[in-house]
Amino acid sequence: MDTIKRTEIKNLFTGQAKEKVNQPVCVKGWVRTKRGNKAVAFIALNDGSTINNIQVVADVEKFGEDLLKRISTGASLRVNGTLVESMGKGQSVEIQASEIEIYGQADVSTYPLQKKGHTMEFLRDIAHLRPRTNTFGAVLRVRHNMAFAIHKYFNDHGFFYWHSPIITASDCEGAGEMFQVTTLDLDNLPKNEAGKTDYSKDFFGESTFMTVSGQLEGELGATSLGKIYTFGPTFRAENSNTPRHLAEFWHVEPEMAFYDINDNMDLAEDFIKYLVRYALENCKDDIDFLCKMYDNTLVERLNFVISHDFKRLTYTEAISILEESKHKFDVPVSWGIDLQSEHERYLVEHHFKCPVILTDYPKEIKSFYMKQNDDGKTVRGMDILFPQIGEIIGGSEREADFDKLLTRMKELNMNLEPYQWYLDTRRFGTVPHSGFGLGFERLLMFVTGMTNIRDVIPFPRYPKNAKF
RNA sequence: GCUUCCGUAGCUCAGUUGGUUAGAGCACAUGACUGUUAAUCAUGGGGUCCUAGGUUCAAGUCCUAGUGGGAGCGCCA
């Protein structure tokens, strides 16, 4: 009997599974619950391939109380038996067990997962075991599908997957604090004549950091291969303590030659809608579970996004709406301010009640590389704002004019020396081009309905926490 | 980093104005039940009330500090 080929549990619930009814099957997985009476035990088995459990029916007389007693929540099993149409309600098929092998028990007094009631905070403390829960199984399967869909979308649209470096010597766009990478002995640092640390003795011969963005290198790809995207981890050493920030997060950054700001917005909107649609079509069971257990408006919200145009307006128009709203904001609204969360939420959640794309921000509150408008005041940046999670995408048309870019960098007192390779893209054969950055975990928050970003990545990194 | 709330059984929580031996549900153990659906029912075991100090005749409850966690804000994706 033990030579039957194993079937993954998800394949017992597909259309073809009907052929397997009344046939011998073998499944392997972990016990979610066991219940029953003196005569029969019902074991809900899950192998991670699907949110759905297969019900294993075990006659007590056949297997004996001693064996069944060792089967508790968390135990791992091989079960051989016959796939049959279920006598009970709640499942179409089940396995009438003929042979059960226990791979490993899970001591009920020390195994932390129970078949009921855990908070996200508790599960975060046992992040090494939480993928075994229904919720994290669902979230992580969605995560995989979204990662796959990102590659599929870009590949199908003629983009090339571009590997920007993780370790970098440049402080890209000054976007926040960086983690330093060094092999120097921190207890015995080499000093130069000025008494400062001598980085010429460091591994790379200069000071290096974990990247905060692959954009600048991405622009090198766009101005050679045409359309590229990066998809990898980036790092921010900010002391950010919020449900929307991680110190290590996955960043999707497409960069396109010959795209202006409108092409950029069209791409971003189509891209997000594609991903949401992909999730609805390919992760139905998992999303239905999350909808049922955490947020019964989730499916509705996802459907809304794919069926409505994102509202596009300029920063200046947004300021007018906020000024005329008569809503009392903690931070007063006036042209030139950086929009606060409360302002963005008012626009998205109260005024428009749909995703919003804001463009043409004051140049003072945006990065140096954004294309300057003719008005001399604004730049062609764009932010896509979503309900709950705020900024999900930030991007812009890039300044393609060498003189304008250089002037702006000098205005900001930037050290030009590390950017010479970047400026070469404008020195030689410069072209109009655009790009944006999508926070992968923020997308996942939206798609799964999870309200804390730490719960959409297997091993979250945030201040004071690098466990597992 | 700032503000604010919270920390009581393995888990989720209740605990009145400071007052006898700190409670419930789930989990666990034992028993009942021939098909359960987070099974149900009965009985039972299970506590450093986050830590340290303080106020008081008396502290889970009030005060101070520390520590861990959540939320809001800032930084941003």
Query: Which of A332, A275, A339 minimizes the C-alpha distance to A306?
Result: A275
Minimum-distance residue to B13 (CA–C1'): A117
Tell me, what DSSP letter sits at residue A346? I
**CA A280 / C1′ B54 distance in Å:** 59
Q: What is the dihedral of CA A369, A371, A376, A377, to 10 degrees?
A: -70
Written as six digits, the tokens of A103 are 């791979």
* Helix or strand run (H / E) with residue A137: helix A134-156
Minimum-distance residue to B74 (CA–C1'): A240
Q: Which nucleotide is nearest to A367 (CA to C1')?
A: B76
SS3 A101: strand
For residue range A30-41, list pLDDT tens digits in order.
999 999 888 899
Under-70 pLDDT residues of chain A: 1-2, 116-117, 171-175
CA distance A299 to A443: 15
Q: Ramachandran region of residue A92, left (φ > 0), alpha (ψ -120 to 50) or beta? A: alpha
Tell me, what DSSP letter sits at residue A414? -
Written as six digits, the tokens of A56 are 């294993």
State how far the alpha carbon of A406 is from the alpha carbons of A81, A151, A374, A385, in Å.
72, 34, 17, 30
CA distance A355 to A347: 9
CA distance A425 to A123: 47
CA distance A400 to A427: 9
**CA A463 / C1′ B70 distance in Å:** 15
Residues sharing a CB contact under 8 Å with residue A160, sequence separation 6 or more, in sequence order:
A221, A225, A226, A227, A228, A229
**Chain B positions with any atom < 7 A from a protein CB:** 1-2, 10-13, 25-29, 32-39, 68-77
**CA A243 / C1′ B71 distance in Å:** 9
For residue range A373-413, list pLDDT tens digits in order.
999 999 999 999 998 888 999 999 999 999 999 999 999 98
Q: Which nucleotide is nearest to A246 (CA to C1')?
A: B77
**CA A345 / C1′ B5 distance in Å:** 23
**CA A69 / C1′ B45 distance in Å:** 19
**CA A290 / C1′ B31 distance in Å:** 38
Minimum-distance residue to B27 (CA–C1'): A114
Residues sharing a CB contact under 8 Å with residue A460, sequence separation 6 or more, in sequence order:
A124, A127, A246, A248, A453, A454
Q: Which nucleotide is nearest to A86 (CA to C1')?
A: B35
**CA A467 / C1′ B5 distance in Å:** 26
Q: Which nucleotide is nearest to A240 (CA to C1')?
A: B75
Q: Which nucleotide is nearest to A55 (CA to C1')?
A: B37
Q: Which nucleotide is nearest to A442 (CA to C1')?
A: B77
CA distance A438 to A201: 37
Q: Residue A37 has what pLDDT?
A: 87
Q: What is the dihedral of CA A129, A135, A139, A142, to 10 degrees?
A: 120
State how far the alpha carbon of A51 is from the alpha carbons of A10, A139, A283, A286, in Å.
8, 10, 10, 6
Written as six digits, the tokens of A245 are 């920030």
Q: Residue A170 has what pLDDT?
A: 73
A171 in Cβ contact with A209 (< 8 Å): yes
Q: Which nucleotide is nearest to A241 (CA to C1')?
A: B1
* Helix or strand run (H / E) with residue A28: strand A24-36
**CA A206 / C1′ B54 distance in Å:** 54
Q: Residue A172 has what pLDDT?
A: 52
ipTM of model: 0.90
CA distance A123 to A114: 11
Q: How much is the mean pLDDT over chain A?
A: 92
Pairing of strands A356-362, A311-314: parallel
Written as six digits, the tokens of A87 are 């006598």
**CA A289 / C1′ B38 distance in Å:** 14
- Strands of A160-161's sheet, edge to edge? A160-161, A227-235, A248-257, A433-439, A390-397, A378-386, A356-362, A311-314
Residues sharing a CB contact under 8 Å with residue A377, sequence separation 6 or more, in sequence order:
A362, A363
Written as one string, the DSSP assignment of A226-258 is SEEEEEEEEE------STT--SEEEEEEEEEET
Q: Residue A326 has what pLDDT?
A: 84
Written as six digits, the tokens of A376 are 């001399």
Minimum-distance residue to B1 (CA–C1'): A239
C-alpha of A459 from chain center? 12
CA distance A391 to A438: 9
A397 in Cβ contact with A264 (< 8 Å): yes
**CA A65 / C1′ B32 distance in Å:** 16
Q: Which nucleotide is nearest to A176 (CA to C1')?
A: B75
**CA A38 / C1′ B32 distance in Å:** 9
Question: Amino acid identity of A127?
Answer: A
